[in-house]
Amino acid sequence: MTLTLFQGTLEQGLIYSLVAIGLFLSFRILDIADLTVDGGFTLGCATSAIATLAGHPFLGLGLALIAGSLAGVVTALLQTKMKVQPILAGIITMTALYSINLMIMDNRANLPLLKCETIYSWAAGFLPEDYSKIILLAVIVLLVVLAVFIFLRSGTGLAVRATGDNPDLVRSSSINPHNTITIGLCIANAIVALSGALLAQYQLFAEITTGTGMVVIGLASLIMGEAIIGRGGILRCLIGCLVGSAIYRLIIAIAITSSMQPSNLKLVSAIIVALSISWPAIKEKLEIQKLKRAAGK
């Protein structure tokens, strides 16, 4: 693998690590499998692309954050106030977002951003040219990590964490768990949309299908990160998201340079996620087999 390819892999790893961080908030902290992510990622791409086309790349990031958090609020309202099952709530929002994303993209499935001013071309103006992208992305991702870390240790953050751990405790602390779920999903989806916004300007196009399978990709990164870094404190988990995401992109890069079809990667991701989540159950079965064999002797 060439150095340029490796650097590109790291850059993409940084961009996609935000998806893993968003899923860390919804899947690990709130204990909700939030499928809004598939639509929310494309939503970020679309808003970012439209603003970039209009000559406002930074506004694009801001709009993506707002649009993403709105998507999170819709999912949260569906599952708290309307009592829709959490998974279904995410699917409903994701489905609605498909049409909304097309509307934002002016009913075109693909929006090229060639020759547009982007945040990367802005950074290249004053940073060493070869490293401008990676420095800019590292700064943005670190800011997000820091913000999430501070938030999760604040009073509201504690309440959000307790919501996934023991909702009874949240209620008995006189906090409405509906509010904490809404806050959590709002932040998670804002971060996911930011990831999409960064990607659209990075690859210089937005496409309606970009977000497909993003939940599974994000979970695969999250779980690989946890396997390597461990699941200790919050900071450790957040760093795990970065590492896991980088490794995931590395696997993809290797697959692309070898003869493997890149389209098979979603299958690989699905297998990684299925295996790692079912690992405790598999382990238990293996141990029972072992006990049985030992008893048979």
Positions 154 through 193 that interact with another protein (CB under 8 A)? 154-155, 158-159, 161-162, 165-166, 168-177
Cα→Cα distances 146→11, 141, 178, 234, Å: 19, 9, 25, 11
- Is 82 a binding residue for another protein by CB under 8 A? The answer is no
| Bridge partners for 56 per DSSP | none
Least Cβ distance, residue 235 to another protein (angstroms): 12
Whether 233 contacts 4, CB under 8 Å: no
Note the helical H segments in 204-233. Answer: 214-229
- Is 133 a binding residue for another protein by CB under 8 A? The answer is no
Sign of the alpha-carbon dihedral angle for 80, 83, 89, 95:
negative
In this chain, which stretch among 72-80, 125-133, 151-159, 198-206 interacts with another protein, using CB under 8 A? 151-159
- Is 102 a binding residue for another protein by CB under 8 A? The answer is no
- Is 83 a binding residue for another protein by CB under 8 A? The answer is no
Q: Among 150, 228, 254, 267, which residue sits at the site for another protein (rule: CB under 8 A)? A: 150
Choice between 133 and 161, CB closer to another protein: 161
User: What does the alpha-carbon distance between residue 10 and residue 158 come to, in Å, rounded to a whole number?
Assistant: 32
Choice between 154 and 289, CB closer to another protein: 154
Q: Which two tokens stand for residue 47?
A: 């808003």
DSSP state of 27: I
Chain residues in the site for another protein (CB under 8 A): 150, 153-155, 158-159, 161-162, 165-166, 168-177
